[in-house]
Amino acid sequence: MKVAVYPGSFDPITKGHLDIIERSSRIFDEVIVSVLINVDKNNLFTTEERVELIKKVVKPYKNVKVESFNGLLVNYMKEKQSNVIIKGLRALSDFEYEFQMALMNNKLDPSIETVFMMTNSQYSFISSSSIKQVAKFGGCLKDLVPDEIIKDILNKFRGD
Ligand code: PNS
């Protein structure tokens, strides 16, 4: 069984992320979407909330699981018996950072491959950080994040 891991911050999950999940679920037997537990970062949602938001939107994909991980991704990959990391690429500006991470992960564990998926052009401008800005100042989130989680994001800014 070919298991792939799609790691990230997902603060929050966007339509661009969901597109990558949907497409990879058609290629691999199982896809584990895994949220990095990052205590230093100024996240809007807690790890548990981010996991719950992702779970809400991946329900239609029966071979997709949602988890969180701590520490080095390569160690988590070993634990999950997976050697494929999935990453999405939106623009050239993503490349340098992603290239460095892919080489570092491969150096730490040469059995690991990073598979890059080009974003769907309709989502290429979407990032979690821009979504937070739009939401903070009352902009429309339709087509940026999955419909099922728009309310959760707006509530977060209202302090509910
Ligand atoms: O969505 P992001 O923030 O681009 O995701 C980055 C992520 C979580 C994939 C990356 O920060 C990560 O893998 N962190 C775990 C620590 C690690 O393994 N570092 C070594 C690779 S440089």
* Beta carbon of 9 within 6 Å of any ligand 1 atom: yes
This prediction's pTM: 0.96
* Tokens describing residue 51: 């996991």
| Test site for ligand 1: of 6, 9, 13, 74, most ligand atoms within 8 A of the Cβ | 9
pLDDT tens per residue across span 118-155: 999 999 999 999 999 999 999 999 999 999 999 999 99
Q: Is the pLDDT of residue 160 over 70?
A: no
Q: Which domains does the chain carry?
A: 3-158 (3.40.50.620)
Please report the atom of ligand 1 found closest to the CA of residue 74. 18
pLDDT tens column, 24-44 = 999 999 999 999 998 777 899
The closest of 106, 6, 12 to 52, measured between CA atoms, is 12
Q: How far is the CA of 23 from the centre of ligand 1 (A)?
A: 21
Confidence of residue 60 (pLDDT cuts 50, 70, 90): very high
